[in-house]
């Protein structure tokens, strides 16, 4: 039913444009004639006949365009077809009007000069060409919009699929490391293992929420990160320290889930775990110029080729997700801040995605 209504409305719109366009031409033509000479009723009758002929033959032309699928042809093929067709239309329409005016005796004998038909055909052909230009322009604009909408829908579907794929990669990766942390405590310190299981249950709860949510509050992400760091602290003991400084405004901003967790895990794996004396993870965040600024520092060096080439799991995943969600509005960098501090810096637009 909606499709039929749509077709009817388009058909009505076409005829409204046809009648109003040709009628406007007639009124303007009669207005110009009346400014130079007295307007006679015969002129008006011939003008009306011209309008009906124009509507009829351009409608036939429209049928030919649709039947021959001219709208599907490239411009280099359409242009000569339209020019020739417009010239033929000009000859046919003006020829009929000229013949009617001749046999009806509407035109004075002095008007039947060789130059008049030539001028008339040229003007009428120009009108037909203008009609064709408007007709093709409307259809090309509609097709362009349709193609653009289809492209956006396809792009959104691809992004959604890629993001779901990335999130499915994050969850097992995250849980594998958390389970390893607990496993190392079970025999050594059962009480600490119980506390660790509580932390793990919190992480699992957050992980399940992540599967359903496209974004989470930064404050929620930080709570999960604290649980993860506490688990790792049980494994690394004094070798791991951490500090978190998140102001209240930043805590209310939504971010892609697991993004900070992934980078923290990356810092422990490639930095702190490789140093005998361990080190510290420092997380800071604030709102700056309508963007959320997140900085994660850890002891270490950018010596790993995977990190330098941005091919490590955490780095590549973060870059890919930011690009899919925010395009060029977001940024991520991994740099050496000084001799032994690696800085992961995220800039995320607040409430703005592509």
pLDDT digits (tens, 9 = 90+) for 199-217: 888 887 887 776 666 788 9
pLDDT given at position 307: 47
- State the average pLDDT over residues 88-101: 82
The helix/strand/coil state of 1 is coil
Strand partners, 312: none
Condensed to tens digits (0 to 9), the pLDDT of residues 15-32 reads 888 888 888 887 887 787
Please provide the average confidence, as pLDDT, over all residues in the chain: 79
The helix/strand/coil state of 346 is strand
pLDDT given at position 208: 74
| Rounded Cα–Cα distance for residues 142 and 148 (Å) | 10
What does pTM read for this prediction? 0.54
pLDDT higher than 90, residue 296? yes
The helix/strand/coil state of 279 is strand
pLDDT given at position 171: 56
Which run of H or E residues covers position 288?
strand 279-288
| Rounded Cα–Cα distance for residues 224 and 230 (Å) | 10
Confidence of residue 183 (pLDDT cuts 50, 70, 90): confident
Confidence of residue 295 (pLDDT cuts 50, 70, 90): very high
pLDDT higher than 50, residue 230? yes
Q: Within 10 A of 99 (CB to CB), how many other CB atoms are there?
A: 10
| Rounded Cα–Cα distance for residues 182 and 190 (Å) | 10
Q: Boundaries of CATH 3.30.565.10 in the chain?
A: 189-349
- State the average pLDDT over residues 287-310: 75
Contacts (Cβ under 8 Å, ≥6 apart) of 57: 89, 92, 93
Whether 317 contacts 166, CB under 8 Å = yes
351: left (phi over 0), alpha (psi -120 to 50) or beta: left
- State the average pLDDT over residues 268-295: 89
Buried b (16+ CB within 10 A) or exposed e, 29-63: eeeeeeeeeeeeeebeebbebbbebbbebbeebee
- State the average pLDDT over residues 56-85: 85
- Tell me the C-alpha to C-alpha distance, in Å, between residue 90 and each of 85, 112, 117, 129: 9, 18, 10, 9
Whether 265 contacts 174, CB under 8 Å = yes
Which run of H or E residues covers position 343?
strand 341-349
Q: Is 181 exposed, middle or buried (0-12, 13-18, 19+ CB in 10 A)?
A: buried
pLDDT given at position 3: 44
pLDDT given at position 313: 52
pLDDT given at position 48: 82
Confidence of residue 349 (pLDDT cuts 50, 70, 90): very high
Q: What distance lies between CA 146 and its chain's CA centroid?
A: 13
pLDDT given at position 23: 83
Condensed to tens digits (0 to 9), the pLDDT of residues 110-141 reads 666 667 778 888 888 888 888 888 888 888 88
The top-scoring range by mean pLDDT among 42-51, 63-72, 218-227 is: 218-227
pLDDT given at position 107: 60
Condensed to tens digits (0 to 9), the pLDDT of residues 36-66 reads 766 667 677 777 888 888 888 888 888 888 8
- Tell me the C-alpha to C-alpha distance, in Å, between residue 27 and each of 21, 51, 220, 232: 10, 10, 70, 85
290: left (phi over 0), alpha (psi -120 to 50) or beta: left
pLDDT given at position 305: 46
Query: What fold characterizes domain 189-349?
Result: Heat Shock Protein 90 (3.30.565)
């Amino acid at each position: 039913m909606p499709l039929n209504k749509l077709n009817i409305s388009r058909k009505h719109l076409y005829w409204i444009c046809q009648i109003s366009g040709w009628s406007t031409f007639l009124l303007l033509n009669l207005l110009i004639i009346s400014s130079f000479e007295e307007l006679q009723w015969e002129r008006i009758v011939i003008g009306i006949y011209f309008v009906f002929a124009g509507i009829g033959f351009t409608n036939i032309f429209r049928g030919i365009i649709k039947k021959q699928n001219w709208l599907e042809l490239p411009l280099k093929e359409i242009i000569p077809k339209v020019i020739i067709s417009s010239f033929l239309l000009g000859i046919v329409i003006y020829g009929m009007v000229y013949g009617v005016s001749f046999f009806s005796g509407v035109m004075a004998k002095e008007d039947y000069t060789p130059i008049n038909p030539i001028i008339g055909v040229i003007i009428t052909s120009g009108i037909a060409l203008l009609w064709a230009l408007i007709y093709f322009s409307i259809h090309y604009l509609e097709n362009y919009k349709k193609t653009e909408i289809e492209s956006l829908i396809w792009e959104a579907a691809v992004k959604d699929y890629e993001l779901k794929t990335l999130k499915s990669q994050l969850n097992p990766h995250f849980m594998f490391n958390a389970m390893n942390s607990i496993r190392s405590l079970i025999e050594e310190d059962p009480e600490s293992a119980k506390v660790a299981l509580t932390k793990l249950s919190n992480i699992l709860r957050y992980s399940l929420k992540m599967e359903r949510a496209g974004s989470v509050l930064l404050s929620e992400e930080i709570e999960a990160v604290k649980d993860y760091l506490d688990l790792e602290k049980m494994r690394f003991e004094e070798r791991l320290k951490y500090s978190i400084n998140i102001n209240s405004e930043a805590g209310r901003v939504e971010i892609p889930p697991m993004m900070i967790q992934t980078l923290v895990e990356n810092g422990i794996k490639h930095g702190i775990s490789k140093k005998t004396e361990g080190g510290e993870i420092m997380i800071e965040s604030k709102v700056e110029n309508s963007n959320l600024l997140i900085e994660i520092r850890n002891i270490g060096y950018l010596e790993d080729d995977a990190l330098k080439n941005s091919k490590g799991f955490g780095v590549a995943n973060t870059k890919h997700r930011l690009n899919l969600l925010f395009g060029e509005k977001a940024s991520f960098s991994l740099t050496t801040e000084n001799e032994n501090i690696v800085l992961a810096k995220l800039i995320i637009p607040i409430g703005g995605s592509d």
